[in-house]
Amino acid sequence: MKVDLYNHEKKYHSWKEQASRANYIEGDLTKKNSDILLKYIFDMEIGANVSLKNKKGGRSYARLNTIKQKLIQMMQRLQDRKVVDITKVNENQIQEFFNDIRSGKIKRKDGGEYASIDTYVKIFKAFWHWYIKINRKKGINIEDLTVEIDGSAKSKPKWVYLDEEQMKLLLEKCEPRYRAFLSFLYDSGARVTETFSLLVQDIHEEKGVVHVDIKDENSKTFGRKIKLLLCGKDLLEYIKRSELKQEDRLFGFSPEYTNRYLGELAKQLFGNKVSKAGAKYSDLSMYDFRHNSCCYWIQRYKNNTGLMFRFGWKTEKYILYYSEFLGMRDLISQEDLYVDVTKTELEKQLEQQNKRVVYLEEQMKKVDELADQLHNQIFNNAQKNKHK
């Protein structure tokens, strides 16, 4: 069962219980804005009146909370501009609104600039297409105001990049109880929710290789079974040392405390400088391990298909992002490695094979020496018998 790390379900139902009361008005929204907001969110909960352009089915509780929060923010900012009913906004008003957000003219309540503008645009587009659909059922045509809205990201996301030496140092210096967990995040590249949803029984060994089985119901995209070539043996030791049963959760750390600990540790090891990916080392969180895992594995997979499967991606856009980030866009198809096998792993196997060859050569040398001794002994005995 997928873990609800941040209690999204509880938060949503707590809000819905209040919002379902008669004459409820959301915060400082106007009655019209509050009513259309509630109708939209309740429809999205069950997947009703979803636009043909959008994903079918009910939205997750995490998604519902995000949609609600960001729509409320947009409605509030539009109310500041005398748009007291969002359904009556015109094309010029909405274009100007998003342009002013992008330029920084419209700021958040705390005075900061909006970051993920593309997210706000996507949410508004989904809302407006829903509004078009419910009116079409009534025989009313509503103009699509979203066609010309710029939905591109204002800038690439900032995150904490650690090179392989920095990651090695961090794993060496972290508290022992976190080592297997963080090594797993780095090795598997699994999403945080996928990781916390794992049971001990999802980890198993086949022909000397440890695998993790990420179930469909626990994944954002699709389930997958992948090899753990970096942390496998340590993970088995962690399970044994922790005396975990097959039905137990693999990891039971507090997300909030773990993120706080990681930020403090990274600051201690690397200072409070800005990493190559734009975020300060002190901002390191569990989510950054997936980014760093991508940077590690993208240089080791022979083809994009294997990499996409490992990370649960449905498109290649992320591969383009990370290959450009590493400055290796033209090299990604030239790496000649086996899927799911790293250079390090191959080098280890080659070293073991060389040791076996040396050992066999030494044994053959001893056999040859014994054969010579036996041959000489037989020859000497024969000579002695000849002269008797």
Overall average pLDDT of the 89-95 stretch: 94
- pLDDT single digits (tens) 102-117: 888 988 888 888 878 8
CATH label of the domain that carries residue 241: 1.10.443.10
pLDDT, residue 287, reads 96
pLDDT of 157-197, one tens digit each? 899 999 999 999 999 999 999 999 999 999 999 999 999 99
Query: Are 312 and 365 found together in one domain?
Result: no
Question: Using one digit for the tens of pLDDT, what is the confidence trace for 14-39?
Answer: 999 999 999 999 999 999 999 999 99
Same domain, 89 and 198: no
Judge if 200 and 317 occupy the same domain.
yes
Per-residue pLDDT band for 3 (boundaries 50, 70, 90) equals: confident
Same domain, yes or no: 221 and 278? yes
Burial class of residue 385, CB neighbours in 10 A (0-12, 13-18, 19+) = exposed
Greatest C-alpha distance within the chain: 128
- Structural domain of residue 113, as residue ranges? 8-136
Q: Is residue 387 part of a domain?
A: yes
Structure tokens at 382: 């024969």
For the chain, give the mean pLDDT. Answer: 88
Q: Which of 291, 325, 359 is the last residue of a domain?
A: 325
Domain annotation covers residue 147? no
Q: In this structure, are 32 and 112 located in the same domain? A: yes
pLDDT (tens digit per residue) in 344-360:
555 566 667 666 766 67
| Pair 232, 268 in one domain | yes
Residues 12-27 as b/e (b if ≥16 CB within 10 A, e otherwise) read beeeeeebeeeeeebe
15 within some domain: yes
| Structural domains counted in the chain | 3
**Which runs of E-coded beta strand occur in the chain?**
203-206, 209-214, 224-227
Query: Are 208 and 314 contained in the same domain?
Result: yes
pLDDT tens per residue, range 202-255 = 999 999 999 999 999 999 899 999 999 999 999 999 999 999 999 999 999 999
